[in-house]
Amino acid sequence: MSFTGKYELQSQENFEAFMKALGLPDDQIQKGKDIKSISEIVQDGKKFKVTVTTGTKVLHNEFTVGEECEMEMLTGEKVKAVVQMEGNNKLVATLKGLKSVTELNGDIITNTLTLGDLTYKRISKRI
């Protein structure tokens, strides 16, 4: 199953509490909570390019499944991570104590981020 495509954020749960826990400033959290971000994914075998555009902020990460890479977190901090694929539709990574699970089902991508006992869920639809 290919992840390649553009996805628009449809809904999110626990955004404000999660972003606070990450240490994002309140003004950024308030600006970001109502913006429909667009995620663009290009998959070439095990190589991925992911670009998430939220208003004027653009987050760009590239990785190869199973290989260590440097990824930019929502805070702008760069951290080392290894992304693994489970089955043919799930990407799992741990970045500095933050667990990210991205699952593709048809035209819906669900991204679940977990930090300690706090979970943030984003649901995006292919456009």
pLDDT in tens, 16-72: 999 999 888 898 888 888 888 999 999 999 999 999 998 888 999 999 999 999 999
Q: Rg of the chain over CA atoms, in angstroms?
A: 14
Residues counted in the chain: 127
DSSP 50-78: EEEEETTEEEEEEEETTSEEEEE-TTS-E
What CATH number did the domain enclosing 13 receive?
A: 2.40.128.20
pLDDT in tens, 71-122: 998 778 899 999 999 999 999 999 888 999 999 999 999 999 999 999 999 9
Query: Which of 40, 38, 37 lies closest to 49, judged by CA?
Result: 40
Strands 98-105 and 5-13: unpaired
Total number of domains constituting the chain: 1
Range of the domain at 110: 5-126
